[in-house]
């Protein structure tokens, strides 16, 4: 049984919703009431007349402990399930790492490249490899610097692997263009292999033509 220490200069009794009361009991007693008749009886106690919040707290906890004591003993399976449930984590700080990103992480991905459409939403969490860039020599990009000290940044290709955590295989993404105006192409691995084969054969064909 829980020993309750009175609260000095206790404020007025609190008004609970059923959800708030269940969370309160879970926090104090580490026991989850499912919203059934037991919680309704405890709510009736919470709504009773109490001189202050400490007295209300004592009455709520005493009523909850009576309800717990009157419950049938758990079977071994029920006990194991409850212990397993208590070990689960449902809340994370927004700036924390997503725990499932490191589960089955591909060797080619690095945590600093992880991407999220909505953080902590597994269906939008994506691994990403290092980005490999190639210049596009005939695509004018941006002019940088001031007069007398200017440079030109060419358009480029950016090529990398990306994979949602619930996908079996990665895709190869090719981005090309200039800043603010880029096109995207996503290729499955077999598509990328066929494309690479065709490009190499076209290179062979071009070199054969040069040799003639």
Q: Contact at 8 Å (CB) between 41 and 63?
A: yes
The angle that helices 18-29 and 37-46 make with each other, rounded to 10 degrees, is: 90
92 within domain boundaries: no
Residues 69 and 159 both lie in one domain: no
Residues 106 and 204 both lie in one domain: yes
8 within domain boundaries: no
Pairing of strands 142-146, 115-116: unpaired
Residues 50 and 137 both lie in one domain: no
Angle CA(41)–CA(43)–CA(46) in degrees, nearest 5?
A: 120
* This prediction's pTM: 0.53
199 within domain boundaries: yes
Q: What six digits make up the tokens of 24?
A: 């309160």
User: Total structural domains in the chain?
Assistant: 2
State the Cα–Cα distance between residues 100 and 123, nearest whole angstrom.
11
Residues 146 and 82 both lie in one domain: no
pLDDT value of residue 188: 96
Residues 206 and 107 both lie in one domain: yes
State the Cα–Cα distance between residues 137 and 128, nearest whole angstrom.
26
23 within domain boundaries: yes
Q: Which domain holds residue 173?
A: 99-211
Residues 124 and 158 both lie in one domain: yes
Residues 112 and 168 both lie in one domain: yes
- Chosen domain end from 66, 87, 108: 87
Residues 117 and 163 both lie in one domain: yes
- Chosen domain end from 36, 53, 87: 87
Per-residue pLDDT of the chain (212 residues; tens, 9 = 90+): 455 555 556 789 999 999 999 999 999 998 888 878 999 999 999 999 999 999 999 999 999 999 998 888 778 888 888 788 877 766 666 666 677 787 888 999 988 888 875 566 666 788 999 999 998 887 777 777 777 777 777 888 999 999 988 888 999 999 988 877 788 999 999 999 999 999 999 999 988 866 66
Phi and psi (nearest 5°) for 96? Answer: -80, 160
Phi and psi (nearest 5°) for 29? Answer: -105, -5
H/E segment holding residue 81: helix 76-87
Q: What six digits make up the tokens of 22?
A: 């269940």
24 within domain boundaries: yes
């Amino acid at each position: 049984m829980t020993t309750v220490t009175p609260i000095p200069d206790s404020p007025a009794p609190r008004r609970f919703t059923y959800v708030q009361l269940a969370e309160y009991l879970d926090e104090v007693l580490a026991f989850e009431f499912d919203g059934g008749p037991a919680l309704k009886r405890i709510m009736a106690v919470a709504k009773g007349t109490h001189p202050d919040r400490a007295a209300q707290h004592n009455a709520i906890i005493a009523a909850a402990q009576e309800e717990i004591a009157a419950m049938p003993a758990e079977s071994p399976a029920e006990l194991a399930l409850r212990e397993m449930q208590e070990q689960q984590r449902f809340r994370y700080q927004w700036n924390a790492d997503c725990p499932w990103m490191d589960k089955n992480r591909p060797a080619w991905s690095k945590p600093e490249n992880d991407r999220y459409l909505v953080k902590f939403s597994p269906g939008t969490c994506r691994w990403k490899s290092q980005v490999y860039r190639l210049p596009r020599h005939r695509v004018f990009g941006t002019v940088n610097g001031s007069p007398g000290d200017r440079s030109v940044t060419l358009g480029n290709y950016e090529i990398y692997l990306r994979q949602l955590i619930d996908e079996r295989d990665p895709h190869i993404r090719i981005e090309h263009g200039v800043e603010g105006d880029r096109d995207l192409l996503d290729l499955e691995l077999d598509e990328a292999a066929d494309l690479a084969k065709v490009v190499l054969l076209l290179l062979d064909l071009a070199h054969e033509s040069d040799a003639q």
